[in-house]
A and B are shown apart, each in its own frame.
Chain A
Amino acid sequence: MPDAWVSVSLTSLALLAGLVLLAASVNMFGLSKRWDPSLKHCFVTGGSSGAGLALAKLLAQNGAHVSIVARDQAKLNKALEELEAARQNPQQVFRAYSFSVNTEAGSAAAIEAASEPFDGRCPDAFFLCAGASRPGFFVEQTEESLRTGMEQTYYAQAFTALAASKTMVQQGVKGKIVFCSSILGYFSMVGYSTYSPGKFAIRGLAETLQSEFMLYGIDVHVAFPGTIYSPGYSEENRVKPKVTLKIEETDEGATPEVVAKIILDGVRSGKFHITVDFIGNVFRSSTAGSTERNSYALDWVHGLIGYIALPIWRNSVDSTVLKHREEHEAYLRERGLRS
């Protein structure tokens, strides 16, 4: 009997040693310097509210030049005032620009405008926080609403990334692009057919660029926050199906400031995927595949927890959906969606 334990222990030790060596070799940027936003020019889309504004303020507090971009001029003016309140030193340049960034032309124009105070030099870091969510049942969607969903999630960030990349490559700027996906870019469930596809697509783009930008020395980051208590969230809940709200009953959200702090911290420590809470870490580790990991050895723990806990949680989600069948049948009949 003792021999068996010796074998098991030795094998475990060997495995552990192997993992540690692998971790050391794949996690080299754990030793690299922390990125400092001070006097870097940070370009923030969706920067007039929610997590985007919180990030913009945090960057200002850390000494960065900040250009915020959104549509609403009034909100932008108010946001600019908040940036001023966070000013650290007189050199910092704070600007607000009203542009629609969900086209390449709009994004390119916004970046050009933002580059003017810097003699045409483009921003160093692009925080792409533009996005919105309008959940609903799939059978109630139309081509138009599905396209709008993709516009508001994926295109809202993809074309800015495109314009930013071309400019940085043209000028030889070894900058950063930070995408904002969502925990609904790691998994999905009832009600999110207009939202998850675009958030998954952002991950797909980030994965491509993280590889491709090794050609340019440009870093890519992508954040996957859960619920953020922002104006956007209240909007979202107005149209969200009851069954989705029920499933999310036990969810805890976070304030934009907390989310912004974790995202900036993740960018500063060079993390590719940035998750915001425990459940985010579990999803990140359980869906990583070949994605560059931040902490190879620790991910294993989160991954194991996920392997055990996620199917159990999922089962309860499925259960809630199944219980909703009858009520949903009546809902369909009322709307003429079921004969």
Chain B
Amino acid sequence: MPSIWTSLASLALIPALFLVATRILSFKTRWDPCLKHCFVTGGSSGAGLALATLLAQNGAHVSIVARDKAKLQKALEVLETVRHNPQQIFRAYSFAVNTEQGSVAAIGAASEPFDGHCPDAYFLCAGASRPGFFVEQTEESLKAGMESTYYAQAFSALAATKAMVQQGVKGKVVFCSSILGYFSMVGYSTYSPGKFALRGLAETLQSEFMLYGIDVHIAFPGTIYSPGYEEENRCKPKITLKIEETDDGAQPEVVAKVILDGVRSGKFHISVDFIGHVFRTSTAGSSERNSYLLDWVHAVVGYIGLPTWRKMWVDNLVVKHRDEHEGYLRERGLCSVE
């Protein structure tokens, strides 16, 4: 007498086999960056620079784009130290990519050494975080948050897409969202919306670009020990820092390695550590999955573990912080109630 569990498990096998079959029929060869032209925004520091360096180590042509010329110069020197062969072209360009115009100009400049042929892969790592309490935000700060999370990558994606479609380049667009694009909590009203928005765009394009043969990837790293992280922690609310006390971050080099590996194996969503995998599988919906069968395991862990973590750690700490926060509000004239 088969139990209901066996029946359900058997039922789940049907789509699993279906997906395995379709995967085998369209088996992707591992993507090789060697002598591909890789365009990296936010490429002068943090995870962007680490990715650019890794791509250079793997034989790619690399164009890094950022604003600060001094940082770009320094980054270019780092790329040179990992040169793999004399054919590789390394360039650094100073442009603001948070407008379509800036992105188009940057791509135009990067295409020059290649007779106008646009880059093959776009790693969009530009982004910044300035957390804070929602009641202390303004229209300006919320817009600035969207600029430095979403628009910083969306317009580069737009310019890159138009160039690739125009030239018939079957390339790649790699977005950098965040684990705060899978969930959010106190303090991230200027950050999470943009990181969620990046996912929304990536989901649209992963479907739409089947019209062009362009691949879409999106990474969801957690804490990265970079200069950006220190900036972020300077203005982060105490309560958010407290909740994140137990978090482990990762070095930019480690994150870059996992992201490049995910791009090379054709993963759509790329999560960077165990908690990332749990969130990825627990929020996947209809997103293309990398490993249908393994995802189930991470998802069960998530179904039990995530609500527990959420209620007992996150919510609990926030509620305990109420009194202290009332004092904080009164000091700043944000609350008149006695």
Which residues from chain A sit less than 8 Å from chain B, CB to CB?
5, 8-9, 12, 18-19, 22, 25-26, 103-105, 137-139, 141-143, 146-147, 150, 154-155, 158-159, 162, 165-166, 169-172, 184-193, 196-205, 207-209, 211-212, 214-215, 283, 286-293, 296, 300, 303-304, 306-315, 317-318, 321-322, 324-325, 328, 332, 337-339
Pick 24 A–B contacts, CB within 8 A, sort by A: A12-B4, A142-B100, A143-B99, A155-B143, A171-B336, A187-B287, A188-B203, A189-B204, A189-B207, A191-B208, A201-B197, A204-B193, A204-B196, A207-B183, A208-B192, A212-B187, A214-B319, A214-B322, A287-B285, A288-B283, A303-B299, A304-B8, A308-B12, A314-B286
Decide yes or no: A185 and B200 within 8 Å by CB, A146-B155, A211-B315, A318-B210 being known contacts: yes
- Is the Cβ of B146 less than 8 Å from the Cβ of A12? no
Q: In the complex, what residues of A have CB within 8 A of residue B210's CB?
A: 190, 318, 321-322, 325
CB distance from B293 to the nearest CB of A (A): 11
Closest to B150 in A: A197
Nearest CB of chain B from residue A185's CB, rounded to whole Å? 7
Do A5 and B1 have beta carbons less than 8 Å apart?
yes
What band does the interface of chain B fall in when counting residues whose beta carbon is under 8 Å from A? 35 or more
- With most chain A CB atoms within 10 A of its CB, the pick from B12, B101, B211 is B211
| Inter-chain contacts of B137 with A (CB < 8 A) | 162
| Contacts A185-B200, A290-B279; A165 near B182 (Cβ below 8 A) | no
Known: A187-B203, A214-B315, A291-B183. A137 touches B208 (CB 8 A): yes
State whether the Cβ of B314 lies closer than 8 Å to any Cβ in chain A: yes
Give A245 to B304 CA distance when docked, in angstroms: 39
The answer to whether B279 touches A104, judged by C-beta atoms less than 8 angstroms apart, is no
Please tell me if the beta carbons of B201 and A193 are within 8 angstroms of each other in the complex. yes
A278 to chain B, nearest CB (A): 15
CB of B337 within 8 A of CB of A172, answer yes
A12–B9 Cα distance when bound, in Å, is 13
Q: What B residues does A291 contact at CB under 8 A? A: 183
Cα-based distance from A103 to B201 in the complex (angstroms)? 24
- For A209, the chain B residues whose CB sits under 8 A away are 134, 189
Cα A111 to Cα B286 in complex, Å, equals: 39
Question: Contact at B135–A190, with CB atoms within 8 Å?
Answer: no
User: Separation in Å of the A196 CB from the closest CB of chain B?
Assistant: 4
Looking at A189, A192, A204, A287, the one whose CB has the most chain B CB atoms below 10 A away is A204
The CA of A288 and the CA of B18, in the complex, are separated in Å by 25
CA distance A304 to B196 in the complex (A): 24
Q: Which of B83-91, B158-166, B244-252 contacts A (4 or more CB under 8 A)?
A: B158-166
Is residue B303 within 8 Å, beta carbon to beta carbon, of the partner chain? yes
B135: which A residues are within 8 A, CB to CB? 165-166, 169
B residues in contact with A105, CB < 8 Å: 139
**B114: A residues at CB distance < 8 A:** none
- Report the Cα distance A196→B100, complex, angstroms: 19
Give 5 closest A-B pairs by Cβ, nearest first: A204-B196, A200-B200, A172-B337, A104-B139, A143-B100
B335 touches A172 (CB 8 A): yes
- With A187-B287, A189-B203, A208-B184 known, 10 other A-B pairs at CB within 8 A are A104-B138, A138-B204, A143-B155, A165-B135, A188-B207, A190-B210, A197-B198, A287-B284, A307-B299, A311-B19
| A186 touching B285, Cβ below 8 Å | yes
- Is the CB–CB distance between B318 and A211 below 8 Å? yes
User: Complex formed: what's the CA distance from A22 to B306 in Å?
Assistant: 11
**B188 lies within 8 A of chain A by Cβ:** yes
> CA–CA, A133 to B100, complex, Å?
21
Mask for B1-35, Cβ within 8 A of A = 1, else 0?
10111101001101100110010000000000000
Beta-carbon contact of A338 and B165 below 8 Å: yes
Indicate with 1 or 0, residue by residue over B277-318, a CB within 8 angstroms of chain A CB atoms.
001001111111100100010010011101111110011001
The answer for the CA separation of A105 and B140 in the assembled complex, in Å, is: 11
**Would B3 and A5 count as touching, CB distance under 8 A?**
yes
Q: Is the CB of B208 within 8 A of A215?
A: no
Q: Which residue of A lies closest to B307 (CB)?
A: A26
Interchain CA distance A9-B6 in the complex, whole Å: 10
Contact B211–A201 (Cβ < 8 Å) = no
Q: Collect the chain B residues with CB atoms within 8 Å of residue A171's CB.
A: 336-337
Check A199/B200 contact, CB under 8 A, given A211-B184, A287-B283, A337-B166: yes
Closest A-chain residue to B154, C-beta based? Answer: A146
Question: Does B334 count as interface, using CB distance less than 8 angstroms?
Answer: yes
Given contacts A26-B311, A212-B187, A289-B183, contact A200 B166 (CB under 8 A): no
Judged by a CB distance under 8 angstroms, whether B321 is at the interface is yes
Measured between beta carbons, the chain B residues less than 8 angstroms from A12 are 3-5
Tell whether, in the assembled complex, residue A208 and residue B185 are in contact, meaning their CB atoms are under 8 Å apart.
yes
Cross-chain contact B5 with A205 (CB below 8 angstroms)? no
Nearest-neighbour CB distance to chain A for B278, whole angstroms, equals 9
Contact of A188 among B200, B292, B306 (CB under 8 A): B200
Distance between Cα atoms of A154 and B203 in the complex (Å): 17
Which single residue of chain B is at the shortest CB-CB distance from A305? B11
Q: Is the CB of B165 within 8 A of A139?
A: yes
Interface string of B120-150 (1 = CB under 8 A from A): 0000000000000111011100110010001
Report the separation of the CA atoms of residues A287 and B335 in the bound assembly, to the nearest whole angstrom. Answer: 36
Structural contact, A308 and B5, CB atoms closer than 8 A: no
For B334, give its contact among A169, A306, A311, A321 (CB under 8 Å): A169
Query: Please, how many angstroms separate the alpha-carbon atoms of A40 and B124 in the complex?
Result: 47
Tell whether, in the assembled complex, residue B182 and residue A289 are in contact, meaning their CB atoms are under 8 Å apart.
Answer: yes
